Every structure is written in structure tokens, then in C-alpha cells.
Amino acid sequence: MPAREPFDPIAVLQALDEHGVRFVVVGALGRVIHGSGEVTDGIDVVPATGEENLRRLGLALDDLNARRRDQAKLDLEQNLARDPVLDLVTDAGALKIVPEPAGTQGYHDLRRGAIREPLGHGVRPSVASLADHARMLAAFDREQDIETLRRVRRLIELDRGASAVAAGHWNGRP
Amino acid sequence: VRTRGRCGDSNAEEDVELQGVLQRSPQENLEAMLEARDR
């Protein structure tokens, strides 16, 4: 069996933080943080696409020794203008830059529902909400995501039920 | 910790599991995934 690529999500997130990059974590790692129970080898982020933020992102990618998985030249602005997903390999593992995930309008759309989640080592990235993760999975409309989407939706229902009980106005319906 | 398919009357069982998940911190969820990945 081939060795798995290294994966240190904290190192990736620290590099982004150190350069003040504005981003939201999405995809499998975002769902894992919410408790989806998946296993993943990479991190997907949705960056703000303003010029200054992309400059900062470029510096963070330099620190992570990021290169394109297809070995083409990495030119952040040009690549993001052309490719819906920028698939990178870094010294800390796989990193996908996704300016506008399916079913969303990108960073500003996802940021509204995102929560800063403490992950240890002083890292507190913005992670897209479970509802937004469900929205993205539904928009992908992929067979392979059906079970994950069902589980994410159930987590949302249970969370809402727990919140309603905590607020003292649960109506008994799931 | 992997997502698994389920069948029959396992809804209640899964709900208990997911209620447990909701009690865990984001850091615990991440650490559990990284441990599972290394196994």
C-alpha cells in the first residue's frame, strides 16, 4: 500500500493565520470539525478574493511550499480566474483553494454562517456552518455524498432539537 | 471514526452516536479524525 501523504491541518491553518488571510474552511475537513466522522487527507478553503487577501494567501502558500498537483506553474490570480478549484500539494498536506464552491457565492456568502472553531495550538479558523455544508453537498449532487449529506442533515436536526430544548421551547417534533 | 452505511432500525442507535458527536468539541473531532487516519 502506498504511504499516505503527510497531513497537518494545524500547520496549514497557522500559515494562513500568520499572514492574516481571510478564508472559510469547507469540504470534508469542515464537516469533520462539526463531527461528520469522515476521514480526509486535505483541507479546502474559500478565500476572500480581494487583491490584498490573495497577496497574503500567496505568501502563506510560499511558506507551505505549495505547488500545483498537476505540476503546472502556480500563479494564484491567473489560476483562480480560470480554475474553479486550485488543487495544491504542500509540505503539510493537500490544500484546495475553492473561490466559489457549488451552491454558494463564495467567501462573503459562507462567512455569514461560519463560526470560529478552536482547534488547539491557538488556531481558530472560520468554518462553514453545517447548513452551508449541506447546501454545498446537495449542489454537488454526487452519489458518493448521499450518505454524508444524510448524516450532516441529521446532525443539523439533532442540533436544532437540542438548541430548542435548551431554550425551553421544544415542541416535541424532530 | 468513519461514516458507515446503515440499515434497518439503526436510526435510534445513530442518533445516540450523533448526540455524542454534538457534545464533542471541534478540537476533539479533528483529533479523532487524525487518529483514525493514522490507524
Q: Does residue A103 surpass a pLDDT of 70? A: yes
Question: How much is the pLDDT for A2?
Answer: 59
Instruction: Give residue A174's pLDDT band: very low, low, confident or very high (50, 70, 90).
Output: very low
The 3-state DSSP class for residue B36 equals helix
The 3-state DSSP class for residue A60 equals helix
Q: Does residue B4 surpass a pLDDT of 90? A: no
Nearest-Cα distance to chain A for B17, in Å, is: 10
Name the residue facing A118 among B26, B33, B37 (closest C-beta). Answer: B26
Instruction: Give residue B3's pLDDT band: very low, low, confident or very high (50, 70, 90).
Output: very low
Q: Give phi and psi for A86, each to the nearest 5.
A: -105, 110
pTM of the predicted structure, to 2 decimals: 0.88
- Give strand pairing partners of A23: A47
List pLDDT tens digits, range A9-31. 999 999 999 999 999 999 999 99
Instruction: Give residue B18's pLDDT band: very low, low, confident or very high (50, 70, 90).
Output: confident
Instruction: Give residue A161's pLDDT band: very low, low, confident or very high (50, 70, 90).
Output: confident
Question: B3: which chain A residues are within 8 Å (Cβ-Cβ)?
Answer: 36-38, 147-148, 151
Pick from B9, B23, B21, B35: nearest CA to A37: B21
- Count how many pairs of residues, chain A against chain B, have C-beta atoms within 8 Å: 66
Exposed (0-12), middle (13-18) or buried (19+): which is B17, by Cβ within 10 Å?
middle
Question: How much is the pLDDT for B2?
Answer: 45
Q: Does residue B1 surpass a pLDDT of 60? A: no
Question: How much is the pLDDT for A23?
Answer: 98
Q: Does residue A168 surpass a pLDDT of 70? A: no
Pick from B3, B39, B20: nearest CA to A150: B3
Pick from A159, A138, A130, A151: nearest CA to A34: A130
Question: How much is the pLDDT for A171?
Answer: 52
* B7 close contact with A: CB closer than 8 A: no
The 3-state DSSP class for residue A86 equals strand
- Give strand pairing partners of A43: A95
- Does the distance separating the beta carbons of A158 and B22 come in below 8 Å? yes
Cell triple for A9? 491541518
Exposed (0-12), middle (13-18) or buried (19+): which is A121, by Cβ within 10 Å?
exposed
- The whole-number average pLDDT for the span A142-170 is 83
Domains of chain A, earliest start first: 9-128 (3.30.460.40)
| Location of C-alpha cell 442507535 | B13
Q: Does residue A107 surpass a pLDDT of 90? A: yes
Q: Does residue A54 surpass a pLDDT of 60? A: yes
Average pLDDT of chain A to the nearest whole number: 92
